[in-house]
Amino acid sequence: MIQSPCIKLCTIDARTSLCLGCGRTLDEVAAWSTFSEARRAQVMAELPARMAEAGLSLPVTTTAAG
């Protein structure tokens, strides 16, 4: 299974263009299954700082799909 930060709360913030559920961009969500494991890990590591910088809260839960 592909590790993913998706928590099935898919709402894009109009101000930041980030998903409020996971912090990814639409491009990242769309390409997630094509990313290497290393690229997915890199994006996931960036999410907390990305959301904090945008003034948004990142949920802590991760799932195996999305």
Q: Give residue 1's pLDDT band: very low, low, confident or very high (50, 70, 90).
A: confident
Tally of structural domains, the chain: 1
Q: Which domain holds residue 26?
A: 1-66
pLDDT of residue 58: 63
What tens digit of pLDDT does each residue of 10-58 get?
A: 999 999 999 999 999 999 999 999 999 999 999 999 999 999 999 987 6
| pTM summary value | 0.81
Phi (first) and psi of residue 63, to 5 degrees? -125, 175
